[in-house]
Amino acid sequence: MPNDPTTTQRPFVQLFTDGACRGNPGPGGWAYILRHPVSGKEKEDSGGKEDTTNNQMELQAVISGLQALKSQSQVEVITDSTYVAKGSSEWMPGWKRNGWRRREGKKWKPVKNEQLWRQLDELLGQHDVTFTVVKGHSGHPENERCDELAVEASLQFEM
């Protein structure tokens, strides 16, 4: 059917992300570059928090990038965070099944950064998302740019 929304091709975008933290916890920053390869359009954004962790900033970068999308899209998230990539694609289904808890030894513990993971889960449900992990600080141009923006954002909280 020509107007069947399930067969309509979603636009493809690349989302490059990075988080930074000066101390862990400490002042932190996040950044993303959103690229539409077909049109060549790009959008950059960054922000930060006075007291945070590196993992929280890595999550916030992806969340903020996905929130910036105006329509349902096919998204390739390019990140240097194995934590975010594996958490999103491997660990999250189990956390959800177990009431957002994880096993630590013989005990159940709440998932760390649960609110951010829940926010990301909701956004992942709106888009068709895949993750590509790149090595950080290895000369990847977009990862380096995101790192630069995230570090810059974290500096606004220093005295």
Catalytically active residues, by annotation: 18-19, 58, 80, 137, 147
What sign does the CA torsion over 108, 111, 112, 114 have?
negative
Alpha carbon distances (Å) from 102 to 11, 92, 97, 109, 153: 35, 10, 10, 5, 32
Which 3 state secondary structure label does DSSP give 158?
Answer: coil
Q: How far apart are CA 37 and CA 124, in angstroms?
A: 20
Which 3 state secondary structure label does DSSP give 29?
Answer: strand
DSSP of 109-148 = EEPTTHHHHHHHHHHHTTSEEEEEE--TTSS-HHHHHHHH
